[in-house]
Chains A and B, each alone.
Chain A
Amino acid sequence: MADFSKVSPFQVDPSAIEEAMLLTPEDFAPASEGEKESMVEKRKSVSYWRDAARRFKANTVSMVALFIFLACLFFAFIGPKLIPYSYGDQYRSSQKLGPGEYSEGETLVKNASANFDVFYATALQPGSLTALSKGDHYFTYKGRTYAFTCEKNYEDVIVAIPKGESEPVLIRQADIDPATGAVAKSEPIAVTDTPAEGATELKMVSRVFPHVFGTDSVGRDLMARTMYGARVSILIGIMAALIVLIIGSIYGAISGLAGGAVDFVMMRIVELIYSIPEVLIVLLLQVVLREPLQLWIDHSDSALAHAAGALGSGIICIFITFALLYWVTMARIVRGQVLQLRKQEYVTAAIALGAGNKRIIKRHLLPNCVGALVITTCLQIPSAIFLESFLSFLGLGVSAPMASLGSLCSDALPTITLYPYRLICPAIILTVIVLTLNLVGDGLRDALDPRLKK
């Protein structure tokens, strides 16, 4: 049996080596069970993503940033469902309220609400600026449906169910004592169980909610607007980053893989776009595209036009801008990665086995630069939010009654001396979103591509 243990590295004895080199038939015997077992790996193999997740979790700063960002997502996407105000509605007598304040009517109802179980749509509540209009209404409370008919238009009335009773009453706001909240008089409503055809449903509000961030000059709740604006900004960021990801990675992969003259021309185009001061072109594009887009949205029946109409021409312009100008960084990064990867043996093997370019890009190149793609996309989101807010601040982004964090800041600027909080709230949310996304992106970079860690 070949046995090198007797060969000393210090005293080389040729005969010992010769002896050791002698192979016996035993050397070719199948491995025993015990030998096989010792070859099996004891530890489960860790996948790339699990490994990256472990590294990311170990990064305290990024984890904290991730949680704060999730809180922002909660604020932007779940928050609007929790507050009774909506971003576009103008609430009567609620103009120019400070943070945490109630309007006059809301204070009255708040004081009176101690005596009642439940309040229904009044002049205070969303979507009922004219209070109760003439016609049929209904609402449901504790499983029972209450339907009733208004004989005339009411202003400033409240439908309420007194504590311990089951029949609703109609209270005029003037009958509530401003100081104590005591109700001077109320009239009972005749209710039936089945609502008439076409009756409007009233939205239940059991508690009056303060305007946490205050309201603007036309009585819109600023917290609702900030939530909405944050949602718009985040969605724009994500969409724009995806557009950049798709265009940039395809362009970069083709350029890197093709090489030669194709690569040369494609990279000159990238360089050209790179050296265009994009903001000038973006401003021009915004003005140029706005009207044609609006026309297209108004006159086309296609589903795409309807979807675009829901977003508004300003946002579509931003997407187009990203699709035209902002993919170059991504394309450069992907090309660099592809140039590195395509010299690897497994790509040569794939080519030797007859794989086409499409398959090589899809199966071998893109999956292997996924780390770089994720990092660049993640860092693209805050920069898209930056650009969107910048354009909205200049009055070229989203248009009213829609709002984004940038347009909220821009709206607040003229009245900064009187109502600074109108600017501060959206500005802080915007900064926190961008900051946390940057930190999460940095953490992802460290986790997905440890070679880059400095």
Chain B
Amino acid sequence: MVTYTLKRLGAALLTLLIIMTITFFLMNAIPGSPFLTEKSTPQQIALANAKYGLDKPLIVQLKNYVVNYLKGDLGTSLKMQEGTPVRDIIFHQDKFIISIKLGLLSLAVAVILGIPLGCIAAYNRGSWLDGFLRVMTTVGVAIPGFVLATMLLWIFAVKLGWLPTISGQLPDFKSYIMPVISMSFYYVCYVAKLTRTSMLDAINQDYIRTARAKGVKTKMIILKHALRNSLIPVITYLGPVTAGIITGSFVVESTFSIPGLGKYYVQCVMSRDYPVIMATTVVLSALVIFMNLVVDIAYKIVDPRITLTNKED
């Protein structure tokens, strides 16, 4: 277990390094210089390049990034907030906190609503409730996040006026409702679908029949015997969910005017603020990779039969 975790940690670091390299070359391939404005002269650009080390060969720049990141230094912003350390932009300004709050809430909603809904559907298999949930989840995974977000905005904020059109810094409970729903709905549906399928699989197993024969109540069978065994596909899916929720945050933040990290990332890319692009990519990638790692280890806890060393096929 420990060896496995260490191995996976090593692989995760390697992945991060490769992501850093890709990001570095991609962002340097964006045409133009971050210091190019209508008034700037070639000398000024050269000076600015020298100041931030952009005149050095690319490979040296990349090495500097890696070395500095290992030291915990994320550099300073070139454009968006000139001179501010990137670490402050990401961790001490509200952007990251807002995005993380929204993301974690959506993830929690997806799990807390999705799994019970799937259980209910499997438990009442063939009933109208199962039918309704099936229609809902099927339609739910076909609605793009931005369509849902804009529809919610139109109905609840514009037409009915119950909720604010601009969520901004998320000052109160009301401003959370629509962003969280639009970020998590797809995943609630998907998780419910997955849970239902794997729950039905589990219900057909022999040990469930044994439990029934012993006279255990159906509710207890579902909660104690079937649920735990049907959680594996759901847990596997949580890795992609994290990545997906980051994606969702890009749309939701622009629809509800939330000044989060997603929106900031797009602006940074547009203005070629190299250190901020790099730091945001690395931090968000690290989040996704970390989540994948947690998922792999959670497997083992849920189902000790899984051997972690060769989980290939």
Residues of A at the B interface (CB closer than 8 Å) are 267, 271-272, 275-281, 283-285, 287-288, 291-292, 336, 339, 382, 386, 389-390, 393-394, 406, 409-410, 412-413, 416-417, 420, 423-424, 427, 430-431, 434-435, 438-439, 454
Contacts and interface: CB of A to CB of B under 8 A. Distances in A.
Given A275-B289, A278-B243, A454-B200, 10 more contacts: A280-B265, A283-B265, A284-B26, A288-B26, A393-B251, A413-B255, A416-B154, A431-B143, A434-B143, A438-B142
Contacts of A281: 22-23, 26
Given A409-B150, A431-B144, A434-B142, A276 B200 contact: no
Nearest to A282: B247
A336 B284 contact: no
A435 B138 contact: yes
Interface residues of B, number: 50
The 4 closest A-B pairs by CB, nearest first: A435-B142, A279-B247, A434-B142, A427-B147
Contacts of B254: 394
Interface string B212-232: 000000000000000000000
Contact of A283 (B18, B243, B266): B266
Interface of A is mostly: helix
A272 B285 CA distance: 12
Contact of B15 (A272, A291, A416): A272
A57 to B, nearest CB: 20
B138 A434 contact: no
B144 A390 contact: yes
A272 B18 contact: yes
B246 interface: yes
B172 interface: no
B30 A390 contact: no
Interface in B108-162: 138-139, 141-147, 150-151, 153-154, 158
B255 A275 contact: no
Contacts of A439: 138
Contacts of B277: 284
Nearest to B186: A386
A280 B284 contact: yes
Contacts of A267: 312
Contacts of A413: 150, 255
A275 B251 contact: no
A6 B265 CA distance: 87
A275 B19 CA distance: 10
Given A287-B269, A394-B254, A416-B158, A280 B147 contact: no
A30 B234 CA distance: 62
B146 A276 contact: no
Nearest to A288: B29
A316 B266 CA distance: 20
A386 B150 contact: no
Contact of A284 (B23, B154, B243, B251): B23
A390 B251 contact: yes
Given A284-B23, A427-B150, A291 B281 contact: no
Nearest to B26: A284
B156 to A, nearest CB: 12
A377 to B, nearest CB: 18
A393 B153 CA distance: 16
B250 interface: yes
A389 B15 contact: no
A420 B277 CA distance: 35
With a 10 A CB-CB cut-off, give which of B11, B146, B254, B292 has the most chain A CB atoms: B146
A48 to B, nearest CB: 25
A280 B246 CA distance: 9
A279 B19 CA distance: 13
B144 A386 contact: yes
B312 A417 contact: no
Contact of B144 (A280, A336, A434): A434
Contacts of A435: 138-139, 142
B175 interface: no
A288 B23 CA distance: 11
B105 interface: no
Nearest to B200: A454
B27 interface: yes
Nearest to A416: B154
B285 A276 contact: yes
Contacts of A420: 154, 158
Contacts of B265: 280, 283
B313 A336 contact: yes
B154 A423 contact: yes
A393 B145 CA distance: 11
Nearest to A274: B292
Nearest to A269: B18
Given A291-B31, A336-B313, A416 B144 contact: no
B288 interface: yes
Contacts of B22: 276, 281
With a 10 A CB-CB cut-off, give which of A280, A438, A439, A454 has the most chain B CB atoms: A280
Contact of B146 (A278, A284, A390): A390
A389 B146 contact: yes
A30 B113 CA distance: 72
A71 to B, nearest CB: 16
Contact of B247 (A272, A292, A390): A390
With a 10 A CB-CB cut-off, give which of B18, B23, B145, B247 has the most chain A CB atoms: B247
Nearest to B246: A277
B57 to A, nearest CB: 20
B154 A280 contact: no
B201 A454 contact: yes
Interface string B164-207: 00000000000000000000000000000000010011000000
21 contacts: A275-B288, A275-B292, A279-B247, A280-B285, A281-B26, A288-B30, A291-B31, A393-B251, A394-B250, A413-B255, A423-B154, A424-B154, A427-B147, A430-B144, A430-B147, A431-B139, A431-B144, A431-B147, A439-B138, A454-B197, A454-B200
Nearest to B239: A275
A244 B200 CA distance: 32
A205 B254 CA distance: 43
B47 to A, nearest CB: 25
A113 B3 CA distance: 83
A348 to B, nearest CB: 20
A277 B144 contact: no
Contact of B142 (A272, A277, A339, A382): A382
A438 B141 contact: yes
A439 B280 CA distance: 37
B270 interface: yes
B151 to A, nearest CB: 7
Contacts of B255: 413
B313 A279 contact: no
Given A390-B144, A427-B150, A285 B26 contact: yes
